[in-house]
Amino acid sequence: MQQILPEGFSQRLHERLSSPRACPSGRFSGRGIVTCAGGPRYFTCVWVLIWVLRRVFRTSLPIQVWHLGAIEMSEGMRATLEEEGVEVVDAETVIARHPARVARGWPLKPYAIANSRFQEVLYLDADTVPLADPAAVFDWSDYRDSGLLLWPDILDLKSENPIWRKVGLAPRDCVSVDSGILAVDKARAFAVLDLAVLLNEHWEELYDLLHGDKDTFLLACRLIDYPEAMIAHRPFDLDSDLVQRDPHGNAFLHHRTRTKWSLKSRNRPVAVAAFDADCAAALAELGRRWSGAVFHAPARSEAARAAEAELVAIRRFDYASSVVRTLELLSGNRVGEGRAEYEQHWAVVEREGKLVLQLYSDVQLHVELTRLDDGSWRGATVVTPHFSVRLVAQSAAQTFPNRGIKRLTRSGADVVAGLLTAAGMAAGYDESLARDLAAALRLINGAFDDIPEELAAHLVRLPLDAHWREALGRLLTELESARNRRLELAGDRAEHPLWINPAHYLRVM
């Protein structure tokens, strides 16, 4: 987004102080939590924050996550948050209606607070972890009496700081503000927020004097003599993180100013150890839902998007290369279960009237598949290493038959998968390997109860050449006959009346 340098700071500040802006009538209502997060680092942080709010404290307050443009938030990241009942707001769409000069990072914070749909806002930085139910803030007398509650920093704003002269105030020593948390009632303190937005529009002139945005809220109060409330207790210093306190001096919020959450690295514990397990669970769940990258799919036609919607509705597929595994296609071009190096994201594009399913690493295209008449998808990698793949929807008729079914006393599912992998069939037919594989399958067919069914299920999904498919098809009939004779002699067949005929799977080959 193009930024235009605003007119002179002193002139704009004078004009705003001469004509303070009142809270717009009818534009805001209710209470809510607002935070800002964009890009992988802060998205990871905000996910943990939301997890603690929703899963630990069970807050029913609506939550808005603000970001600035597509560079900070992908469709998949948005979908991940929306699945937790969170509203995601792209500030660029709001700026078009309520203009301001908003840069990424700190300047977005006061703009998001001022323009969120809530009349009463509890603002929390993405890198905070509440240690008590933060909704209680709205019931504290400090907040109710003032309409604006701030938290102190461990630093002071000194009288010799040039910022005082810059904004036209008499120099003074005072407590600095940690703006990682604040509560405001716009009906009473909108003029403060409006001034804070103005100060942050001039970040080039002010931030070097203020350590960013945080004291812009304090300066806005001083400029119009607004009687804000300030928590009386300084935060605890936790190795450069801040542990903010409630009016009684109890630990209330861990502001991880130096220790952002990471999906892949070791994380520092929370200030209160009881929250460590919850935060670890949040990170584990995020790792299942999101790759850690801001991925944007290519432009897609209506037909391609319709195909994506169909795949999301099916959701779970058998994905076959040298082995078969589950691949879960989620909304927002995300891959859930089965995500691996070459299958981090996905999309469907339309090319020369045909639909093409694409699989990506973080940002690079690796696999392309086209849809066959039976609804499955077949293709190959487009970069090295080269291998063929097939994608088949999991359904009652197309799922490996014996996974999790208690009727089997002995299942060889993992053994079959391991043998087929070891045979290296993707490299082409090899008569010697075929003999060795047949011998191994005959041997384990005497020890496990479902070798024919597992082999049949793999044959449907593996991209095999004609020689391999013919050889294994003959072997399948032999294995089924031998297994059935063994069970009949042992008297076990009657206890397993639900055997699935392997030929059922072969009909879709």
Give pLDDT tens digits for 150-198. 999 999 999 999 999 999 999 999 999 999 999 999 999 999 999 999 9
Check which CATH number belongs to the domain holding 327 and give it.
2.40.128
When pLDDT is averaged across residues 244-256 and rounded to a whole number, the result is: 98
When pLDDT is averaged across residues 325-329 and rounded to a whole number, the result is: 95
When pLDDT is averaged across residues 211-217 and rounded to a whole number, the result is: 90
- Which H/E stretch holds residue 79? helix 75-82
- Count of all residues that appear for the chain in the document: 509
Q: Give residue 411's pLDDT.
A: 59
Does 391 or 425 have the greater pLDDT score? Answer: 391
| 244 and 331 together in one domain | no
Is the pLDDT at 58 greater than 70? The verdict is: yes
Percent of the chain with pLDDT over 70: 89
Burial of 261 (0-12, 13-18, 19+ CB in 10 A): buried
Residues 6+ apart with CB under 8 A from 481: none
User: Using CA atoms, how far apart are residues 340 and 8, in angstroms rounded to an integer?
Assistant: 53
Show which of 358, 393, 428 is a domain's final residue: 393
| 34 and 136 together in one domain | yes
Residues 6+ apart with CB under 8 A from 385: none
Q: Is residue 407 in a domain?
A: no
Q: Give residue 410's pLDDT.
A: 53
When pLDDT is averaged across residues 431-435 and rounded to a whole number, the result is: 85
Task: Identify the CA nearest to 428 among candidates 461, 460, 400, 386.
Answer: 386
Tokens of 86: 């969170």
Check which CATH number belongs to the domain holding 274 and give it.
3.90.550.10
| 135 and 254 together in one domain | yes
pTM score of the predicted model: 0.77
Q: Is residue 402 in a domain?
A: no
Numbers of helices and strands, H then E, in the chain = 17, 19
Q: Is residue 297 in a domain?
A: no
With beta carbons less than 8 A apart as the criterion, state whether 293 and 308 touch.
Answer: no
Q: Give residue 134's pLDDT.
A: 97
| 105 and 200 together in one domain | yes
Cite the DSSP H helix spans in 154-291: 163-167, 186-201, 203-210, 214-223, 276-289
Mean pLDDT of the chain: 88
| 94 and 226 together in one domain | yes
Is the pLDDT at 489 greater than 80? The verdict is: no
When pLDDT is averaged across residues 329-350 and rounded to a whole number, the result is: 96
Tokens of 308: 């994506």
Q: Is residue 4 in a domain?
A: no
User: Using CA atoms, how far apart are residues 116 and 138, in angstroms rounded to an integer?
Assistant: 17
User: Using CA atoms, how far apart are residues 159 and 432, in angstroms rounded to an integer?
Assistant: 86
Q: Give residue 429's pLDDT.
A: 80
Q: Is residue 168 in a domain?
A: no
Q: Give residue 509's pLDDT.
A: 39
| 325 and 230 together in one domain | no
Tokens of 227: 């009687």
Is the pLDDT at 329 greater than 60? The verdict is: yes
Q: Give residue 496's pLDDT.
A: 44
When pLDDT is averaged across residues 270-296 and rounded to a whole number, the result is: 96
Q: Give residue 406's pLDDT.
A: 39
- Which H/E stretch holds residue 244? strand 241-245
| 280 and 335 together in one domain | no
Q: Give residue 459's pLDDT.
A: 76
Is the pLDDT at 102 greater than 50? The verdict is: yes
Eight-state DSSP code of residue 343: B
| 185 and 36 together in one domain | yes
Is the pLDDT at 315 greater than 90? The verdict is: yes
Percent of the chain with pLDDT over 90: 69
Q: Is residue 276 in a domain?
A: yes
User: Using CA atoms, how far apart are residues 453 and 504, in angstroms rounded to an integer?
Assistant: 10
- Please give the residue range of the domain that contains residue 498: 413-506
Is the pLDDT at 404 greater than 70? The verdict is: no
| 268 and 314 together in one domain | no
| 388 and 313 together in one domain | yes
Does 181 or 440 have the greater pLDDT score? Answer: 181
245 C-beta neighbours (distance < 10 Å), count: 20
Q: How many domains does the chain have?
A: 3
| 130 and 40 together in one domain | yes
Show which of 284, 315, 336 is a domain's final residue: 284
Show which of 228, 256, 284 is a domain's final residue: 284
Tokens of 133: 């139910």
Strands 354-360 and 365-371: antiparallel
When pLDDT is averaged across residues 288-296 and rounded to a whole number, the result is: 94
When pLDDT is averaged across residues 102-130 and rounded to a whole number, the result is: 95
Does 344 or 323 have the greater pLDDT score? Answer: 344
Is the pLDDT at 446 greater than 90? The verdict is: no
**b/e per residue, 332-341, with b = 16+ CB within 10 A?**
bbbbeeebee
Q: Is residue 169 in a domain?
A: no
- Which H/E stretch holds residue 245? strand 241-245
Sign of CA dihedral 197, 203, 207, 211: positive
Of 255-259, 418-422, 439-443, which gets the smallest average pLDDT? 418-422
Q: Is residue 405 in a domain?
A: no
Order of all β-strands in the sheet with 148-157 = 87-90, 63-67, 31-36, 120-124, 174-185, 148-157, 229-230
- Which H/E stretch holds residue 504? helix 502-506
Residues 6+ apart with CB under 8 A from 421: 322, 323
Tokens of 181: 């948390």
Q: Give residue 507's pLDDT.
A: 40
Q: Give residue 493's pLDDT.
A: 46
User: Using CA atoms, how far apart are residues 8 and 263, in angstroms rounded to an integer?
Assistant: 43
When pLDDT is averaged across residues 237-264 and rounded to a whole number, the result is: 96
Is the pLDDT at 482 greater than 80? The verdict is: yes
Residues 6+ apart with CB under 8 A from 71: 38, 39, 294
When pLDDT is averaged across residues 440-461 and rounded to a whole number, the result is: 81
Burial of 21 (0-12, 13-18, 19+ CB in 10 A): middle
Indicate the SS3 state at residue 391.
strand
| 185 and 241 together in one domain | yes
Planar angle of CA 184, 188, 194, nearest 5 degrees: 75
With beta carbons less than 8 A apart as the criterion, state whether 454 and 444 touch.
Answer: no
